[in-house]
Amino acid sequence: MTQVIRTSAELREKVATWKRSGMLVGVVPTMGALHDGHLSLVREARKQSDRVIVTIFVNPMQFNNKDDLEKYPRDEDHDLALLEAEGVDVLFAPGVHEVYPDGFATVVAVSGVSEPLEGAFRPGHFEGVATVVMKLFGMTQAGRAFFGEKDWQQVQVVKRMVEDLNVPIRIIPCPTIREEDGLAMSSRNVRLSPEHRALAPRLHAEMQAAAAAIRAGAPVTATLEAAKAAIGAAGFGAWDYLDLRSAEGLRPITELSEPARILAAVHLGDVRLIDNIAV
Amino acid sequence: MTQVIRTSAELREKVATWKRSGMLVGVVPTMGALHDGHLSLVREARKQSDRVIVTIFVNPMQFNNKDDLEKYPRDEDHDLALLEAEGVDVLFAPGVHEVYPDGFATVVAVSGVSEPLEGAFRPGHFEGVATVVMKLFGMTQAGRAFFGEKDWQQVQVVKRMVEDLNVPIRIIPCPTIREEDGLAMSSRNVRLSPEHRALAPRLHAEMQAAAAAIRAGAPVTATLEAAKAAIGAAGFGAWDYLDLRSAEGLRPITELSEPARILAAVHLGDVRLIDNIAV
């Protein structure tokens, strides 16, 4: 039976009873509209923790686009049923005023790794992420937190913050879960039209082809430009970026001298898809 | 026997053994050069906690003035002897590189209450305070933290941060400790010349007189201006501020409709004195 908790005071009491018994708490922070990607995080959390909290909070502070915030899919009843089936102990689903009460005035900002890519195209996004994640860590007092590599840059920002602020929690990144055709699972995918849904996997296919070419020694810039052109010709909209970056610091690189990833953000209809893969 | 610890890894191990026994940890964050004001915090921490950590770290990030940072008094051997005598369990005294390793990139910023007074005259000061305090809370995993009301605005900033980020710690403000002549104890007092040391208590005396006058119904602005003039005539240097403010939000007020304090910062030779009292 998954207990639904809506206030941090009630959550703190619950967690205190667990902590007194020496239990390790795992948390999976989400914005709801759960799919198999989230559930893979939940399963990992169950393996690595004595008690599991899943948080659902569509965090206004991390949305730079009001329309995206309003259209973000929400279905708590369905989410709760999925979490029940996974044996989650607590669904923590606070309201906006519980998270940001009147007088709220604190921001956590991570420079460097948060600045390129999503940071450049979504001003303020990672401040919103860092701040709410810090709050959720404080509210849940979890010892482990599980994040999907689909949001690769977010994982790097959270890891940097945890290290810099000496937060007593371990960040566990978990692999991106994909549809059979290769499309990275995302809550926003339900907003794709049938035509665009059919086209969407092409992004991952071209990224894989580019990664293989770069690994085989093809020149980085030309290979990425060709992939962009191919995806554009297939019917995608504007690119935000398609970059080769160092895996941890997300520095731009033009040769494979360290672990690297291709990261992409591209528009398809009024949905913005992001993805990333190891090279 | 007070154990001196210099790395957060070693501190974390120590704290973990305490936590496993269900002990409540109290922390007193300081910049060293300990005086009776600090020791009053330590005694309160001993009363309210099972184990006490005193931290000594002269935090470069909160000094807006390089000269002030260099001249800040340091005497760890003497500090350690004082803490031994108080029965402190751990002195945590990390080096600068331990607190801010290469690649450090995270800042905690509190708006509002941090902006006037010290915030206006010491740009970046409270970001430095909030960030290092957040780090020390993470490193010590303390359940209670003890701060002196001498730094009244700092207490308000830390309380705001703890509430906003849901940090699982209780902030315990402790009263300012004064010399017999009324001068608020401060590590910077040792830098006063004998003449200025003799003059310094006049600040507190005039603040008390102004508070009494305001309580008795005297007009706020004229009373504070008169106090400023009197202190100036006595031989003090430039004023940064002498204000009546709401006690919690530090909003400027001109009548006593809520708990209020007079807060002051004034230069005396090359030392900057701050003080505050209830009205």
Instruction: Write the pLDDT tens digit of every residue in B119-146.
Output: 999 999 999 999 999 999 999 999 999 9
Mean pLDDT to the nearest integer, A163-171: 98
Report the alpha-carbon distance of residue B131 to residue B109 in Å, rounded. 8
Give the dihedral sign, CA B213/B217/B218/B221. positive
Report the pLDDT value the prediction gives residue A215, as an integer from 0 to 100.
96
Query: Helices A201-215 & A220-234, crossing angle to 10 degrees?
Result: 160
Report the pLDDT value the prediction gives residue B2, as an integer from 0 to 100.
98
Closest C-alpha to B6, from B123, B111, B93? B93
3-state secondary structure B127-194: HHHHHHHHHHHHHHCCCEEEEEHHHHHHHHHHHHHHHHCCCCCEEEEECCCECCCCCECCHHHHHCCH
> Where do we find the tokens 């202190």?
B231
For residue A273, list its beta bridge partners: A266
Q: B272, B241 in Cβ contact below 8 A? A: no
Report the alpha-carbon distance of residue B183 to residue B202 in Å, rounded. 8
Interface contact flag, B110 A106, Cβ < 8 Å: yes
Q: A150, A118 in Cβ contact below 8 A? A: no
Catalytic residue among B38, B125, B196, B204: B38
Residues of chain B neighbouring A8 (CB-CB closer than 8 A): 166
Question: If you measure CA to CA, which chain B residue comes closest to A111?
Answer: B105
Q: Any binding-site annotation on A40?
A: no
Report the alpha-carbon distance of residue B110 to residue B118 in Å, rounded. 13
- Which segments of B are annotated as binding site? 31-38, 62, 148-151, 154, 177, 185-188
Catalytic residue among A38, A125, A196, A204: A38
Q: Judge whether A3-174 and A187-278 match in fold.
A: no
Question: If you measure CA to CA, which chain A residue comes closest to B115?
Answer: A105
Question: If you measure CA to CA, which chain A residue comes closest to B8?
Answer: A166
User: In degrees, to the nearest 5, what angle opens at C-alpha B204 toward C-alphas B203 and B206?
Assistant: 70
Report the alpha-carbon distance of residue B254 to residue A132 in Å, rounded. 37
Task: Tell me the three state secondary structure of residue B261.
Answer: strand
**Which residues of chain B, if any, have pLDDT below 70?**
none
Residues of chain B neighbouring A166 (CB-CB closer than 8 A): 8, 135, 138-139
Report the pLDDT value the prediction gives residue B234, as an integer from 0 to 100.
96
Residues of chain A neighbouring B161 (CB-CB closer than 8 A): 106
Phi-psi region of A100 (alpha: psi -120 to 50; beta: other; left: phi over 0): beta
Mean pLDDT to the nearest integer, A175-199: 97
Report the alpha-carbon distance of residue A111 to residue B105 in Å, rounded. 5
Task: Tell me the three state secondary structure of residue B65.
Answer: coil
Contacts of A122 (CB under 8 A, 6+ apart): A64, A65
Q: How far is A2 from chain B (nearest CA, A)?
A: 23
For chain B, what are the domain ranges? 3-174, 187-278
For an interface test with B, the pick among A92, A126, A131, A164 (most B C-beta atoms closer than 10 Å) comes out as A164
Question: If you measure CA to CA, which chain A residue comes closest to B166?
Answer: A138
Q: How far is A261 from chain B (nearest CA, A)?
A: 20
**CATH superfamily, with its number, for domain A187-278:** Pantoate-beta-alanine ligase, C-terminal domain (3.30.1300.10)
The H or E element spanning position B108 is: strand B106-110
* Long-range CB contact pairs, A180-187, < 8 A, 24+: A182/A208, A184/A37, A184/A150, A184/A273, A184/A274, A184/A275, A185/A35, A185/A36, A185/A37, A185/A150, A186/A35, A186/A37, A186/A150, A186/A273, A186/A274, A187/A31, A187/A32, A187/A33, A187/A34, A187/A35, A187/A72, A187/A73
Interface contact flag, B138 A110, Cβ < 8 Å: no
**For A165, which of B12, B20, B135 is closest by C-beta distance?**
B135
Chain A contact residues (CB < 8 Å to B): 8, 12, 20, 22, 103-113, 130-131, 134-135, 138-139, 141, 160-161, 164-168
Residue B77 burial by Cβ neighbours in a 10 Å radius (0-12, 13-18, 19+): exposed
The H or E element spanning position B264 is: strand B260-268
Interface contact flag, B105 A160, Cβ < 8 Å: yes
Q: B187, B68 in Cβ contact below 8 A? A: no
| Amino acid identity, position B165 | L
Q: A142, A11 in Cβ contact below 8 A? A: no
| DSSP-derived secondary structure for A187-237 | GGGGGS-HHHHHHTHHHHHHHHHHHHHHHTT--HHHHHHHHHHHHHHHT--
> Where do we find the tokens 């610890």?
B5
Residue B277 tokens read as: 């009292």
Please give the DSSP secondary-structure letter assigned to residue A179.
Answer: -
Q: Any binding-site annotation on A204?
A: no
Instruction: Write the pLDDT tens digit of every residue in A214-224.
Output: 999 999 999 99
Closest C-alpha to A44, from A88, A95, A102? A88
Q: A70, A56 in Cβ contact below 8 A? A: no
Interface contact flag, A166 B20, Cβ < 8 Å: no
Question: If you measure CA to CA, which chain A residue comes closest to B132?
Answer: A165
For residue B49, list its beta bridge partners: none
Beta sheet of B271-278, edge-to-edge order: B239-246, B260-268, B271-278
Task: Tell me the three state secondary structure of residue A277.
Answer: strand
Instruction: Write the pLDDT tens digit of every residue in B208-256.
Output: 999 999 999 999 999 999 999 999 999 999 999 999 999 999 999 998 9
Q: Any binding-site annotation on A196?
A: no
Interface contact flag, B110 A105, Cβ < 8 Å: yes
Q: How far is B246 from chain A (nearest CA, A)?
A: 15
Interface contact flag, B165 A111, Cβ < 8 Å: no
Contacts of B153 (CB under 8 A, 6+ apart): B113, B114, B117, B118, B119, B126, B250, B263
Contacts of B72 (CB under 8 A, 6+ apart): B31, B33, B58, B63, B187, B188
| Amino acid identity, position B279 | V
Q: How far is B129 from chain A (nearest CA, A)?
A: 13
Instruction: Write the pLDDT tens digit of every residue in A49-80.
Output: 999 999 999 999 999 999 999 999 999 999 99
Size of interface A-B (CB pairs under 8 A): 76
Report the alpha-carbon distance of residue B58 to residue B72 in Å, rounded. 8
Interface contact flag, A20 B22, Cβ < 8 Å: yes
For an interface test with A, the pick among B106, B132, B137, B170 (most A C-beta atoms closer than 10 Å) comes out as B106
Report the pLDDT value the prediction gives residue A166, as an integer from 0 to 100.
98
Residues of chain A neighbouring B134 (CB-CB closer than 8 A): 165
For an interface test with B, the pick among A5, A108, A115, A160 (most B C-beta atoms closer than 10 Å) comes out as A108
* Active site annotation includes A97: no
**CATH superfamily, with its number, for domain B3-174:** HUPs (3.40.50.620)
Instruction: Write the pLDDT tens digit of every residue in A78-134.
Output: 999 999 999 999 999 999 999 999 999 999 999 999 999 999 999 999 999 999 999
